[in-house]
Chain A
Amino acid sequence: MSNIPEDLHYAATHEWVKVDGNGIATVGISDHAQEALGDIVFVELPEPGAEIEARAEVAVVESVKAASDLYSPASGEITEVNEALIENPQLVNSAPYDGGWIYRMTITDEKDLNELLGAGAYADHCADE
């Protein structure tokens, strides 16, 4: 079974989101997603400052097996990207919820988060796939 932390929000497309007290959200891909992809060899990061829409393609995660688009779970502005992934993309495999985070963003509308799944619902979603 993959690791699905309780305190995160999840998209059906396997991104996770964690919102801190200042309204900044950190986004990555779930343990389930990294395991399905296999060893990750490149992460195409977004540009800091870019405005993005919820559910728009924002990054690409390429593994030995396949290229997978990452869809932004919310609308807002990119504030920071995880540049460590340029040299060490396998952080997404080894620490998907920690050192393997992909970007941070401001969230324009908190309601976007209501569209996402809790840990239990996401676990059910993974089991159904």
Chain B
Amino acid sequence: MGQRTSLHDRHVAAGAKMVDFAGWDMPLHYGSQIGEHHQVRRDAGVFDVSHMTVIDVGGGDAGNWLRYLLANDVARLEAPGRAQYSLLLNHEGGVVDDLIVYRLAAGYRLVTNCATRRKALVWLARNSPGYNVQVEERPHVAMLAIHGPNSIELACGALPGDCAGKVRRLGNFGALEHEGRLVARTGYTGELGIEVMLPGESAGELWGKLLAAGVKPVGLGARDTLRLEAGMNLYGQDMDENTSPLAANLGWTVSWRDEGREFIGREALRRQRESREQDGGPVLAGLVLEARGVLRNGQQVRTDKGAGVITSGSFSPTLKQSIALARIPGGSQSCQVELRGAMTPLKIVKPGFVRFGKRVFE
């Protein structure tokens, strides 16, 4: 038996098919993965993502330490209540983990992956000597993600009135703290929505109110197809410690603006940037299969510039065709994959296929 979130019994009661996910018993789906995917694109769904790793950072050097550790710059979070997507890089410029960092009234909160928990905590501890910081994992914090075009309206009905009023006014990547909760306009679906972190013992009550308001439970299966349609990377599949963010469509997360900021991996990235100006180098692209069939992780593809590999492939329930993220030579114009013995053309697009329920590529 794996670790359980505080909502485990509610998943079982809702008919979830529970599976092992990095040592946790998590809901894969509650009957239909595709039905849940559409629920988020068209209405509102709730995910239990309490398996994510929540880490609070305090101490007088917290800001400066995170400016050293993270490739994005927390100095750009101008005030408490702002969040940003960021990467932990190693000294070779590979990605140790990806996360969202929230600036709180006191200190910062990091939400990192579940499967990389131990590695991320070790990395933080190893790089903390010399800084006045307190790094505290918060294993009893539960996290619900409520996403979909109607999510905020329905979620506000399930939150206390004074909290709901503030949630309605949040902008994208805005966050607010309210009586032990952290509510933020962040997520992993490409839809409008919020994530709510709260004490584990309070999660069941919120879950129940959300379901009573018409929000449907959504499993990790649909979470994966939603994030793939949104063109969002999955750590361990689309990038890892041996992948440069520049080869993973994550160059935009690296903040170069403060030239004096020495963050881990900066020197390696600077060299990679120079060499890529000479010879290009691999990129993470989107692929679309017009023919019937489903692209799968690990499949080899061939472009006019050489070989590539699919890092995340699946069926897009919104587009009703298969889509993928793939690492291919930069500047590729055409791409093919072998499907049941036949070379089949693929369309190359920017990563990102669906946003706010609508197709986003030509």
**Residue B209 at the A interface, CB < 8 A?**
no
Residue pair A62, B32 in contact (C-beta under 8 Å): no
Instruction: Check: A51 CB closer than 8 A to any chain B CB.
Output: no
For B28, B221, B225, B315, the residue with the greatest tally of chain A CB atoms inside 10 Å of its CB is B315
A91 to B315, CA, bound (A): 17
Task: Determine if B314 and A64 form an interchain contact, defined as CB atoms under 8 angstroms apart.
Answer: yes
Query: Nearest Cβ in chain B — how far from A91, in angstroms?
Result: 13
Q: Is B223 an interface residue (CB 8 A)?
A: no
Stretch of B147-155, B292-300, B349-357 on the interface side: B292-300
Closest to A66 in B: B296
Contacts of A44 in B (CB 8 A): 292, 340
B32 touches A39 (CB 8 A): yes
Q: Would you call A90 an interface residue if the criterion is a C-beta within 8 Å of the partner chain's C-beta atoms?
A: yes
Residues of A close to B340: CB separation below 8 A: 44, 60
Residues on B with C-beta less than 8 A from A42 are: 292-294, 315
Q: Is the CB of B34 within 8 A of A64?
A: yes
Q: Are B33 and A38 in contact (CB under 8 A)?
A: yes
In the complex, B29 has a CB within 8 A of chain A = yes
Q: Does A93 contact B (CB under 8 A)?
A: yes
Are B34 and A39 in contact (CB-based, < 8 A)?
yes
Query: How many Å from the CB of B313 to the closest CB on chain A?
Result: 11
CA distance A62 to B28 in the complex (A): 18
Contact status A38-B221, CB under 8 Å = yes
Whether, in the assembled complex, A67 has its beta carbon less than 8 Å from a beta carbon of chain B, the answer is: yes
Question: CB-defined interface of A97-114 with B at 8 Å, one 1/0 digit per residue?
Answer: 000000000000000000
Counting contact residues on chain B (CB < 8 A from A), the size range is: 10 to 19
Determine how close the nearest CB of chain A comes to the CB of B321; give it in whole angstroms.
9
Q: Is the CB of A62 within 8 A of B294?
A: yes
Chain B residue nearest to A94 (CB atoms) is B32
Q: What 0/1 pattern do residues 21 to 44 of B give for CB contact below 8 A with A?
A: 000000011001111000000000
Q: Are B34 and A67 closer than 8 Å at their CB atoms? A: no
Compute how far the CA of A42 lies from the CA of B339 in the bound complex, rounded to whole angstroms: 14
Partner of B225, one of A62, A64, A90: A64
A41-B315, A64-B221 known; A90-B292 Cβ under 8 A: no
Is B296 within 8 A of A93, CB to CB? no
The number of inter-chain residue pairs (CB within 8 angstroms) is 36
Q: Given A60-B340, A64-B34, decide whether A41 and B29 contact each other with a Cβ distance below 8 A.
A: no
A22 to B225: give the CA distance in the assembly, Å.
45
CA of A64 to CA of B294, assembled, Å? 8
Interfacial residues of chain A within 43-85, with CB under 8 A of chain B in the complex:
44, 60, 62, 64-67
| Residue contacts A-B, CB under 8 angstroms, 28 given | A38-B29, A38-B33, A38-B221, A39-B29, A39-B33, A39-B35, A41-B294, A41-B315, A42-B293, A42-B294, A42-B315, A44-B340, A60-B340, A62-B293, A62-B294, A62-B315, A64-B33, A64-B34, A64-B221, A64-B225, A64-B294, A64-B314, A64-B315, A66-B296, A67-B294, A67-B296, A90-B32, A90-B34
Q: State the CA gap A98–B70 with chains docked (Å).
A: 56
* CA–CA, A90 and B33, complex, Å: 11
What is the minimal beta-carbon distance from A63 to any residue of chain B, in angstroms? 8
Residues of chain B whose beta carbon lies under 8 Å from any beta carbon of chain A: 28-29, 32-35, 221, 225, 292-294, 296, 314-315, 340
Residues of B within 8 A of A39 (CB): 29, 32-35
Q: 13 additional contacts, CB 8 Å, given A38-B28, A90-B34?
A: A38-B29, A39-B29, A39-B34, A41-B34, A41-B294, A44-B292, A64-B33, A64-B221, A64-B225, A64-B294, A64-B314, A67-B294, A93-B32
Closest Cβ of chain A to B30, distance in Å, is 12
- The 4 A-B residue pairs with the shortest CB-CB distance in the complex, in nearest-first order: A41-B315, A39-B34, A62-B294, A39-B33
Q: Which residues of A contact B34 (CB under 8 A)?
A: 39, 41, 64, 90
What residue in chain A is nearest B32 (Cβ atoms)?
Answer: A39
For the complex, what is the distance from the CA of A94 to the CA of B225, rounded to whole Å? 21
Chain A residues with CB below 8 A from B294, complex form: 41-42, 62, 64, 67
Distance (whole angstroms) from the CB of B26 to the closest CB of chain A = 15
CA distance in complex: A55, B107 (Å): 63
Which residues of A sit under 8 angstroms from B221, Cβ to Cβ?
38, 64-65
- List the A residue with the shortest CB-CB distance to B36: A39
Q: How far is the CB of A32 from chain B (nearest CB, A)?
A: 13
Q: Which residue of chain B has its CB nearest to the CB of A44? A: B292
Instruction: Give the chain B neighbours of A67 by CB distance below 8 A.
Output: 294, 296
C-alpha gap A3/B22 in the complex (Å): 31
In Å, the complex CA distance between A39 and B225 comes to 12
A44, A62, A64: residue with the most chain B Cβ atoms closer than 10 Å: A64
